[in-house]
Amino acid sequence: MPITAIVFDLDGVIIDSEELWNEVRRDYTVAHGGSWTERDQRAVMGDNSWQWAHHIRTVGGVELGERRIIDGVVSRLLARYEEHLPVIAGAREAVVGLARAYRLGLASSAPPEVIRFVVRKAGLAGVFSGWLSSDDVAVGKPAPDAYLAACARLHADRARTAAVEDSENGLRAARNAGLAVVAVPNRRYPPSPEALEHADLVLASIAELTPTAVASLSRS
């Protein structure tokens, strides 16, 4: 069966933002008397906002409510995006090119206000038929919830849908949801070889994600 829909991750796939998220979380945590290391960043990749805010509070040692932590981190991130949105080279072109042949969606761990901002500022408004934040489901990646909900919003058959992911938890989430999996490994936080085994196709860059590449994912 040919692929008819594609669901993209956002951070690390369309925008080069994982390190920026790390910086913002670290700076916020330290500014409020807590501690943050790269181990913490790896621990929360794929989490929804409530999960990473809980981590900052309980592991990072920030004695604030989780809603306040979320608002503080997100406001700092959006201020950085106002200055410069780090769209990955070739990502906009790849997404727009695929939109001519496939229904496209987003399943992102970013909160809804960040997704809306990025899609608009990146010039991709109207390209995606639907998008979903992990804040809209019970738990983030590697649980399949975000991808299952995104497929439901797209009215897409999971057996004919591909996911595009860069991270360990994202790859596991897509496979757990039963989607065909395209990996574009994050260079700063690369997935393990075991996680890459979940991928049906591994690409060196998002620019390689062409209709021909997607057609190679056709499933029996």
CATH number of the domain within which 122 lies: 3.40.50.1000
Task: Please check whether residues 9 and 23 belong to one and the same domain.
Answer: no
For the chain, the domain total comes to: 2
- In this model, does residue 220 exceed pLDDT 70? no
- In this model, does residue 110 exceed pLDDT 90? yes
Sign, CA dihedral 173-50-83-131, equals: positive
Q: What percent of the chain has pLDDT over 70?
A: 99
pLDDT tens-digit map of 186-207? 888 899 999 898 899 999 999 9
- In this model, does residue 46 exceed pLDDT 90? no
In angstroms, the CA 117 to CA 175 distance is: 28
> Which residues, in sequence order, are CB contacts of 215 under 8 Å at separation 6+?
2, 3
The model carries a pTM of: 0.93
Task: Please check whether residues 149 and 59 belong to one and the same domain.
Answer: no
- In this model, does residue 48 exceed pLDDT 70? yes
220 within some domain: no
Q: 104 pairs with which residues across the strands?
A: 6
DSSP H or E run through 161: strand 161-165
Task: Please check whether residues 70 and 113 belong to one and the same domain.
Answer: no
pLDDT tens-digit map of 151-161? 999 999 999 99
Task: Please check whether residues 52 and 155 belong to one and the same domain.
Answer: no
Range of the domain at 25: 18-83
